[in-house]
Structure 1
Amino acid sequence: MRLLPREHVLQYDWLVHVMNYGPVIFFLGLLFEGVPLSDWAQAVVIAGAGSLCWYSGMWARPYYNLIFFTVLTGLGLWAVSLHWTGAMYLFYALVFVMVMPRVWQVTLALVLQTLIVIGQGVWLDMGNLYNSILAILILLGGHADYLFFRHMTALRVLLRSQEDLEHLTREAERERIARDLHDVLGHTLSSIALKSELAEKLMTRDPERAGHEMREVAESARRALAEVRQTVTGYRSGNLANELSLARHALEAADIEVDLPERVPDGLDRQQENVLCLVLREAVTNVVRHAEARHCRIHWQARDGQWLLSVEDDGRGWSGRFGNGLEGMRERLGLCGGALHLRSAQPGCRLEATIGASPATPTTEEPAR
């Protein structure tokens, strides 16, 4: 026999069983209608009220709540036992308790119980077992309605929260795909355009080199297609050594001298390395497309437990505004605990991206290729 419900939801089971026996109890009450409340009958009424508190879990609540509800239950049982018509006031009280705030629940319950006692004539000796049983059934039914009301309210809140979460997830995925497509296509299409223009110029002077540039155009297009597919499926990852090699080819194709580090940092996790690859790609794309620079310098530096990526050119300088690509990079770095800074140099522009390094980051680094 289960004495206590293991979960709060099992309160419904006990209430359903009790309410199923309601007609039987009601019929027995008719047999004893008009019988005064003897000592044993009062004990049955008190035991019924105590059982309600026991199976509803009130015993586990703070003691003052238990005392408060015990007093209210006793007042209600006593008042209804004075005259059966007082039962209607309990219905009103239970309805208001379900829909009103807690402060009003307490106040309204006290007021209604007092009105019941006064309005039904306390001076009349009309108490009987039938009315007391009816009061218990009303309290049980009201408690079941309250639990059902609270359950439905929580369910509606949960459904709204799930809908909001699904909406935010879809929006985040759209933003991720938009950022990744911008990063992939922006850099690759710029490289394809530059190499195509270079191949056109070399067609008559150096056909062999022009053919080499066109083969690189085809390779860039195939690589972009693969990266777009990876972006849509969400499994794209970068490699800093390969990204430095691509940066060198893109800058040299634009006739920009490039100074690259011999090694790349080691110890970064996959997300951090992927973000730094995207930042480097966006920075190089901006140098190629907008800076009109003759020289570009890329280097790494460890500073205060973080890695610093710096891309500096001697071109026109920074206009003072973040474009869509740089804004996306700043958001990505922020999610990894990093930051993005742009500074005007004399001449040119300096981009600095910082990202946290692992506490166990070793000092050995992988040569760029």
Structure 2
Amino acid sequence: MGSFEHKHKRFKNLEWTSYVWLVYLPYTIAAYLPVKSWRDWLWLMLVGCFLVLYILVVEKPRWRFVTIPAELAVTGLFALFAANNFMIIFPGWQVSFLLARRPKREFYWFAMAYYVFLVGGCVLDYLQFPGTFTWQDGNLMGLVFPFTSPILAYTFSRSIERQRQLNQTNRRLKTIIERHERERIARDLHDTLGQSFSMITLKAELASKLLVKAPDKVAPELTEIAQTSRQNLQLVREIVNNLHEKSLTEMLLDQTHNLAVAGVWVTTTGEAQATKWPTTVQSCFAAVLVEAITNVIRHAHAQTVTIDFTETTTSYQIVFQDDGKGSTLSRQGANGLRGMQSRLQADRGTFAITSSRRGTQLTLRLPKERENA
């Protein structure tokens, strides 16, 4: 059973993306078929040697300090002595992808050796066949892909790696946020319920003593215990309700990703202070901003979005600005706009929208006195 699980795991981890390129290998093999001379046999054996090295590079990471140079040398022989600049493209993509996670100097050494083989092969081909490289027969154009392959592969792989690291960082940030949220809940429980339950305990002990010494005073104490218990129950309900409300930080984590997918760059100011606003305020603003961002992605065709969080002595305010098509976002009768306005008005807030050629600006405001209402 353990052997089967090991093989299954090994099968799942197989580097399929590396083997996809081998579908082009038969074209090289076909160039030497049918076999007409010992040279054809030699090149076919070198193709087999290349295939073995290619697989070892993928499957045996510990051997790469040997297999990568060997693979490059074998394909370099094709470029130097067989007028075949196609074979060297294989390590150009495969190895460049692998080196994207390694120090840059390793890629620089590989690229230097790669271009020595490629340029050397082109020089020998030109000396032997002076009219080989011309635009008319397409041979010169055929050199574009071999010369650009390592750079394209390395750049693409680095981009994928940066995106992977960014996603990992976002996951870590989300974990930190969840931990801080748990700490906040613990503080709320300690500051509110802890003191109240201590009071209930003292009242219950007092009532127990009065039951013997002064029975007529027990009833008021029990009444206070019941009242305090009901208050605690209400506090618990409020805490639970707050847990279901999305904070500005959670909303921004989700929506920033959505904007990035749509090709929209977002910047914020005052975000750190806004994360300290009351939970109900954050929840109301978060719901409105989700709708605003959805409108930007669907209709505005914007490239940048700025969100400015500010606080005065009387209100909380957010200014949302995009550089898209303002006339599209502010169209009459839009359900999204009505929904945003209704949500803010339900909490005695205000909603203002202005649009111009430079984009659309939303000003969202909630009064502070609503907290004590």
TM normalised by structure 1 equals: 0.36
The structure carrying a bigger helix percent of its residues is 2
TM normalised by structure 2 equals: 0.36
| More contact order relative to length (CA 8 Å, sep ≥ 6) | 1
